[in-house]
Amino acid sequence: MKAPSTHPARTLVRRFLDAHPAPTGRELADAGLVCPHWPRPWGIDADPLTQLAIDEELAAAGVDRPDNQIGTGWAGPTVIAAGTDEQKSRYLPPLLAGEEIWCQLFSEPDAGSDLASLRTAAVRDGDDYVITGQKIWTTWADRADYGILLARTDPSVPKHRGISYFLFPMRQDGVTVRPIREMSGGHHFNEVFLDRARVPAANRVGEEGDGWRLAGITLGNERVSLSTGGLCWGLGPTHDDFVALVRERGPIVDPVLRQRIADAWIHGEIIRLIGERITAALAAGGRPGPEASVKKVLADEHGQRVTALVKDLCGPGGMLADAGPLGADVGEWHWAYLFARALTIGGGTGEVQRDILAQSILGLPRS
């Protein structure tokens, strides 16, 4: 789905780029172009078609927005929904500009799928809370300035009611970040140890005990965001890159490979059409229903299917990480193949998503 060529947002972006030929993150943020769907003054209250027009114009000009996915995708929307005016003024401008990077401090070693059983404690001490505990699978904790933190402020009440939500400063004594080395060679996942670290009470979002509800806002954005863009949560090669690669290789003789390619193309088109359906619903003023969870399940499995197929198309050369039939693109595809193992786990496992769909759409009993 594309925005009309005459959409007024195109003129807005072109005028901005005439004045700022190589815009900084701060200039993009001040113009409301980083997250144009956010309310003013952080965005421009853009409807879906306006967002598409802005995206297309920035892409055509080769302008990249600041890379702060957790900040703009999850932390920012939660602050907008429930933060104080002071929190919005302090944290949203540098978040949008990419001047302060954010991470998500939710999962724990014994609290993954059952997040409400988390044990990290927040004990009030005057104007601060003292935080003790451990978090795991924290993306970009090694370079984050702040994190959205869930911690237990009241262990005496049922587990869902004793959790609070904080905007947590990462760069302080008492915070230890240890990388988790992945088989892809990278370590964007980390474990975080909190040993009497402190967070001001002014950094609590909402009331004490309201953290579980706010986590729902965050995770709702996550499950949509993780399934967009490239094959790996918006990263790496795309479905179109896969199609181009197949065309470059010429005729495929093996009937099994031919069928796998056809299946992968069909699934890619289905996912694209679901995305357009979501966009059309938003453009009409509605809200997408179960499509977001359906799209996540399909897109995660599609990423694994495509990256494995690309490796197989390369034959023995597919085992190489730095040479072979993929040429200059080998590094990106090799990384994507290894990283794709995480897709059906992060942001809610495929099994959990299917349970949600079974219960909320099909009316089946809880598993």
Q: Collect all residues with Cβ–Cβ distance below 8 Å to 129 and sequence separation of at least 6.
A: 122, 123, 151, 153, 166, 198, 199, 200, 201, 204
Whole-number Å distance between alpha carbons of 149 and 163? 10
Catalytic residue, chosen from 108, 182, 222, 276, is: 222
User: 70: closest CA among 226, 196, 257?
Assistant: 226
- Cβ atoms < 10 Å from Cβ of 209: 17
CA distances (Å), 171 to each of 23, 153, 168, in order? 28, 22, 9
Whole-number Å distance between alpha carbons of 253 and 259? 11
Count CA within 13 A, CB hemisphere, residue 217. 19
Note the residue count of the chain.
367
Rounded to the nearest angstrom, the gap between the alpha carbon of residue 323 and the centroid of all alpha carbons in its chain is 31
65 is written with which tokens?
């927005």
Whole-number Å distance between alpha carbons of 26 and 65? 10
Residue 269 known to be catalytic: no
Q: For residues 129 and 140, is the Cβ–Cβ distance under 8 A?
A: no
Q: For residues 206 and 165, is the Cβ–Cβ distance under 8 A?
A: yes
Q: Collect all residues with Cβ–Cβ distance below 8 Å to 171 and sequence separation of at least 6.
A: 145
Instruction: Just list the catalytic residues.
Output: 222
